[in-house]
């Protein structure tokens, strides 16, 4: 671009994958050396102006854990503008995070950054595998107006600068890095040679030709590189070649300021909408893959991620907040620790499943520790709320419904005092607070000893009866109910629950039939429409942690005709379940350098439990697989007699709709296939068209990848692969995306369990409410003294509660909502009388914007299309 106001910003940086092809501690060993060298350079050289610490604060924590004596030095360097930190806590995957964790990523990053100085106000996302549609809105909540990205957008006629407009219309002034080398474009040449003056000057002037605003960004750094002063002479030499061009080392804030100044002043600037997850179409393309199948690598980590986030967001934080209202000390330090463990796992190479085995063992340990913390917080808070105590051993228990929607029947899993049971062969009776008997279906009673530390006392070991079952009661959303369990003289009739050879499940909503060939037919009684599932499909995969790649000669194995037994395991008045057992004959692995599946086969047992509760329109499914094979992909199909024309899927804070059939295009600049795989952040499905939500939905607990085919949809349960990057010829990519390091743990051998549910839909409201009810199960506690009062309830159509937490500063309660609709939703929040004195709208960063009235204990909020709305409620004195 010609003109006098041209500028080249050199962003000196290191991109620090915290763990990837080496373990965390191995990379930290290198990190400490790199940080020591950086500090030495900055303290000894005034010419080396500044350095960007990869936009993530966690690496500061990692460094200071080893070098705590350097904290004051770092504070001085950040405050003086020599080191730029933030705004993120980690460089997370944007589709395997949920919406709330993206907010906590910025919230925690900003908090830690402020301990050192001011955070950088740039949505820095240089290596994420595609970008979520709500990043612009989330960033704007934190005062961020600009972003820098690389993957997911390309084009030879697309300038580096554009406006990125998110799902709700919020926008970011965005700079995209050149396709070929991205955030490493001044670390080395495309041929892998050191950068010299000619390459530096030639690149700056060449990139300027594609600039819409007269600005170029050069990235002086790459993965795990130490800082170097070698770039400094080139900056001066570039300025000498053109006195109308300025060039300097810069921080992210400098880039954000230039984008904010230049883009609005440029006519005809391009606007890109929604998620940015497109494959390369540029002749410059080389390594800018979007790597879609990280969604299905390391399936156990994906389920652990769901569980950890669910425990934090649905149980620990809301219950701790409710207990705070009673004056209980808030466990803020524990919650922050639990969040840090989860966020560290959401780094893109960690949750992505594309690292060495040791990394993914560490990921599992972090999730386990986070869940342990959250479970203790949840049970301790529920104990305080219900007045549970070991001194008051009794036969009362309390159930909490974490969903904003009513639940019925109520599934319980609870430890009750042994004294409540005279005889385990007799069927207990459950009564509500009015003394009325409630229908109670027992799944199991088991006498055992457990540590119930939430009851207090120095020796919390209790003799208990662990109970699983169902209550024929309804509990309103975000509410509690109290019950009493009493012994009776009636024997447990196991025949009532399990002695039935029927292949069918039926209630007033659905008729479910296990067909002789192994398929399952689900019929809506209201419409007569039929949906089919349980056609399992296993195919070869010569890909890796990043991508699925079909072998040149594949062998597809299906479950058709492999059903061996159907067993009724529950047949009570409140819930019915059957277990279908299949045996598939599956090739043991790949042969001929990954080009075909082996002729040698082994048996793969698959057990599938279908459960239908009496007053539910949701069919719940649990599939257990014993995997002993290698390099394959396992999917389950869903289809209707008349397929829909569109599909939808949930991503963080959004539900995206798109036509099923996309026109195929010849891409002369192909480096990877247009992905069939799509992300799923809890629910996806098939609908009539993009503006009519009539069809079916599948809700999943930590199963994040699906794809469409002509007749329906396929849910990928797992992929089994053996390398970070495949050593085999790939059909889906031009070149591998990483090192060809062996990862035998990624073959996912052993027992695997997957939970998902399917239901018919006729509106967006059905999708939001039914998936929420399925994903958030009730939580129960025994030894209870009282039924807790409900602090607040939420009535909405297409808006979901995503957080109930204590404010970061002060004792207020934060409620966060997101409206998934393209139309406004009038949300009503009912507050307990006298509990709150003030309500305010605020940003996700918890900065107050305006007060809103509380009228007759009711707050009404118009949640705009696709809007994230955060409310703060101040407690009455």
Read off the pLDDT of residues 842-854 as tens digits, 9 standing for 90 and up: 999 999 999 999 9
CATH code, domain with 805: 2.60.40.1180
Q: What is the pLDDT of residue 451?
A: 85
Residue 866 falls inside a structural domain: yes
**Residues near 833 by Cβ (< 8 Å), separated by ≥ 6?**
857
Lowest mean per-residue pLDDT among 232-236, 416-420, 595-599: 416-420
Mean pLDDT, the chain, whole residue set: 95
pLDDT band at 235 (very low <50, low <70, confident <90, very high): very high
Q: What is the pLDDT, as a whole number, of residue 726?
A: 98
Q: Do residue 770 and residue 818 come from a single domain?
A: no
Range of the domain at 816: 789-877
Is a pLDDT exceeding 80 seen at residue 419? no
Domain-located, residue 280: yes
In the structure, what pLDDT confidence band is assigned to residue 528 with cuts at 50, 70 and 90? very high
Instruction: Look at residue 721 and tell me if it is in a domain.
Output: yes
Instruction: For 551-576, write each residue's pLDDT tens digit.
Output: 999 999 999 999 999 999 999 999 99
Task: Say whether both 267 and 235 belong to one domain.
Answer: yes
> pLDDT tens digits for 437-476?
999 999 988 999 988 877 776 667 888 889 999 999 999 9
Single out the residue in 249, 264, 290 at which a domain terminates.
Answer: 290
Residue 387 lies in a domain: no
User: Do 719 and 866 fall within a single domain?
Assistant: no
Judge if 49 and 112 occupy the same domain: yes
Q: Which has more pLDDT, 544 or 502?
A: 544
The proportion of the chain whose per-residue pLDDT surpasses 70, expressed as a percent, equals: 97
761 and 841 assigned to the same domain: no
Residues 638 and 754 in one domain: yes
Question: What three-state secondary structure class fits 466?
Answer: strand
Does one domain contain both 714 and 801? no
* CB neighbour burial string for 42-54, b if at least 16 within 10 angstroms, e if fewer: beeeeebbbbbbb
Is 451 part of a structural domain of the chain? no
- Is the pLDDT at 85 greater than 70? The verdict is yes
Query: What are 269's two structure tokens?
Result: 């600037």
Specify the number of domains making up the chain: 3
In a shared domain, residues 767 and 809: no
Same domain, 83 and 121: yes
Q: Same structural domain for residues 695 and 832?
A: no
> Per-residue pLDDT tens for 128-175?
999 999 999 999 999 999 999 999 999 999 999 999 999 999 999 999
Q: What percent of the chain has pLDDT over 90?
A: 91
- Both tokens of 72, joined, read 């004051």
Boundary-marking domain end, from 749, 775, 801: 775
Whether residue 258 lies inside any domain: the answer is: yes
Q: Which residue has the higher pLDDT, 715 or 458?
A: 715
Q: Which of 239, 195, 191, 197 lies closest to 220 in space, CA to CA?
A: 195
Mean pLDDT of 579-590: 98
Do 804 and 666 share a structural domain?
no
Q: For residue 4, what pLDDT band results from cuts at 50, 70 and 90?
A: low
The residues facing 733 across adjacent strands are 672
> pLDDT for 485-506, tens place per residue?
987 767 666 545 555 568 999 9
pLDDT at 665: 77
Residue 139 maps to which CATH number? 3.20.110.10
- Check pLDDT > 50 for residue 2: no
* Residues ≥6 apart with Cβ < 8 Å to 191: none
Nearest to 563 by CA among 627, 607, 500: 607
Contact 782, 383 (CB under 8 A): no
Of 778, 819, 770, the C-alpha closest to 796 is: 819
CA atoms within 13 A on the CB side of 294: 28
CA dihedral 247→250→253→259, nearest 10 degrees, is 30
Residue 625 belongs to a domain with what CATH number?
A: 2.70.98.30
Dist. CA 464–CA 449, nearest whole Å: 6
Give the separation between CA 258 and CA 243, rounded to whole angstroms. 19
**pLDDT band with cut points at 50, 70 and 90 for residue 663:** low
Query: pLDDT tens, 805-820?
Result: 999 999 999 999 999 9
Q: Rounded mean pLDDT of 208-225?
A: 98
Is residue 408 domain-resident?
no
**Residue 297 · residue 354 · CB < 8 Å:** yes
Q: Label each residue of 104-126 as H, E or C.
A: HHHHHHHHHHHHHCCCCCCEEEC
On whether residue 440 sits in a domain, the answer given is: no
pLDDT in tens, 318-357: 999 999 999 999 999 999 999 999 999 999 999 999 999 9
List, in order, residues 6 or more apart from 877 with CB less than 8 Å away: 837
How do 171-176 and 779-782 pair as beta strands?
Answer: unpaired
Transcribe 714-754 into DSSP letters: EEEEEEE-SBSS-SSPPSSBSS-SS---B-GGGG--EEEEE
CA distance 431 to 440: 9
Sheet containing strand 836-842, edge to edge, reads: 799-806, 813-819, 868-875, 836-842, 848-852
Does one domain contain both 72 and 95?
yes
Last residue of a domain, one of 228, 255, 290: 290
């Amino acid at each position: 671009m010609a003109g006098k106001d041209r500028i080249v910003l050199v962003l000196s940086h290191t991109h620090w994958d915290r763990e990837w092809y080496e373990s965390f501690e191995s990379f930290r060993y290198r990190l400490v050396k790199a940080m020591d060298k950086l500090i030495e350079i900055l303290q000894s050289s005034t010419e080396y102006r500044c350095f960007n610490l990869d936009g993530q604060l966690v690496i500061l924590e990692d460094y200071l854990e080893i070098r705590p004596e350097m904290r004051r030095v770092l504070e001085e360097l950040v405050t003086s503008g020599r080191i730029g930190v933030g705004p993120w806590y980690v460089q997370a995957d944007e589709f395997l995070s949920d919406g709330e964790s993206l907010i906590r990523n910025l919230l925690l990053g900003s908090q830690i950054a402020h301990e050192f100085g001011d955070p950088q106000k740039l949505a820095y996302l240089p290596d994420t595998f595609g970008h979520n549609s709500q990043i612009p809105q989330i960033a704007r909540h934190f005062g961020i107006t600009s972003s820098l990205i690389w993957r997911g957008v390309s084009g030879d006629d697309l300038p580096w600068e554009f406006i990125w407009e998110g799902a709700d219309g919020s926008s970011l002034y965005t700079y995209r890095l050149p396709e070929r080398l991205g955030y490493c474009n001044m670390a080395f040449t495309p041929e892998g040679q050191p950068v010299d003056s000619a390459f530096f000057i030639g690149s700056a002037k060449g990139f300027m030709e594609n600039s819409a605003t007269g600005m170029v960004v050069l990235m002086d750094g790459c993965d795990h590189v130490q800082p170097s002063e070698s770039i400094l002479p080139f900056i001066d030499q570039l300025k000498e070649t053109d006195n109308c061009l300025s060039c300097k080392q810069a921080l992210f804030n400098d880039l954000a300021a230039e984008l904010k100044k230049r883009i609005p002043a440029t006519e005809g600037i391009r606007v890109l909408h929604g998620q940015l997850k497109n494959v390369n179409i540029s002749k410059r393309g080389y390594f800018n893959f979007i790597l879609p199948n990280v969604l299905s690598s390391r399936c156990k980590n994906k389920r652990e991620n769901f569980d950890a986030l669910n425990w934090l967001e649905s149980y620990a934080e809301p219950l701790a907040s409710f207990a705070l209202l009673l004056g209980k000390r808030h466990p803020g330090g524990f919650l922050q620790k639990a969040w840090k463990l989860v966020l560290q796992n959401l780094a893109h190479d960690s949750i992505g499943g594309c690292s060495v085995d040791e990394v993914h063992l560490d990921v599992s340990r972090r999730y386990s520790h986070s869940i342990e913390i959250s479970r203790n917080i949840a049970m301790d808070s529920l104990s305080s709320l219900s007045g549970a105590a070991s001194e008051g051993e009794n036969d009362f228990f309390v159930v909490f419904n974490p969903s904003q929607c009513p639940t019925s029947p109520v599934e319980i899993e609870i430890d009750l005092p042994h004294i409540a049971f005279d005889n385990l062969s007799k069927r207990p009776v459950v009564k509500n607070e009015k003394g009325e008997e409630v229908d109670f279906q027992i799944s199991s009673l088991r006498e055992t000893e457990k540590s119930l530390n939430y009851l207090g006392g120095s020796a919390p070991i209790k003799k208990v009866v662990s109970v699983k079952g169902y209550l024929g009661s309804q509990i309103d959303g975000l509410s509690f109910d109290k019950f009493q369990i009493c012994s009776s003289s009636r024997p447990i009739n196991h025949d009532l629950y399990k002695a039935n050879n029927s292949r069918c499940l039926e209630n007033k909503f659905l008729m479910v039939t296990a067909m002789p060939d192994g398929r399952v037919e689900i019929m809506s009684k209201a419409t007569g429409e039929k949906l089919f599932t349980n056609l399992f499909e296993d195919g070869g995969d010569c890909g890796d942690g990043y991508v699925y790649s079909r072998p040149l000669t594949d062998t597809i194995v299906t479950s058709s005709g492999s059903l061996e037994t159907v067993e009724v395991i529950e047949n009570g008045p409140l819930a019915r379940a059957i277990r279908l057992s299949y045996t598939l004959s599956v090739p043991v692995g790949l042969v001929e350098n990954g080009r075909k599946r082996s002729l040698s086969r082994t048996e793969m047992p698959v057990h599938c439990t279908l459960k239908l509760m009496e007053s539910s329109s949701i069919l719940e499914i649990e599939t257990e697989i014993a995997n002993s094979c290698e390099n394959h992909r396992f999917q389950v199909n869903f289809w209707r007699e008349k397929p829909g024309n569109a599909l939808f899927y949930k991503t963080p804070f959004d539900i995206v709709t798109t036509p099923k059939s996309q026109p195929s295009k010849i891409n002369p600049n192909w480096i990877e296939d247009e992905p069939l795989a799509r992300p799923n952040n809890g629910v996806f499905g098939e609908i009539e068209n993009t503006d009519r939500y009539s069809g079916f939905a599948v809700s999943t607990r930590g199963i994040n990848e699906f794809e469409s085919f002509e007749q329906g949809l396929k849910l990928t349960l797992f992929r089994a692969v053996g390398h970070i990057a495949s050593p085999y010829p790939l059909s889906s990519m031009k070149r591998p995306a990483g090192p060809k390091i062996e990862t035998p743990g990624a073959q996912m051998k052993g027992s695997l369990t997957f939970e998902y549910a399917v239901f018919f839909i006729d509106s967006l409201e059905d999708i939001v409410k039914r998936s929420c009810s399925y994903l958030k199960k009730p939580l129960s506690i025994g030894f209870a003294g009282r039924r807790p009062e409900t602090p607040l309830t939420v009535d909405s159509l297409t808006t979901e509660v995503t957080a109930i937490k204590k404010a970061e500063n002060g004792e207020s309660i934060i409620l966060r909502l997101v409206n998934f609709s393209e139309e406004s939703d009038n949300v009503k929040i009912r507050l307990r009388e006298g509990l709150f004195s003030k309500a305010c709208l605020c940003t996700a960063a918890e900065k107050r914007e305006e007060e809103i009235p509380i009228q007759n204990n009711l707050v009404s909020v118009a949640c705009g299309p696709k809007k994230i709305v955060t409310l703060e409620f101040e407690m009455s004195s």
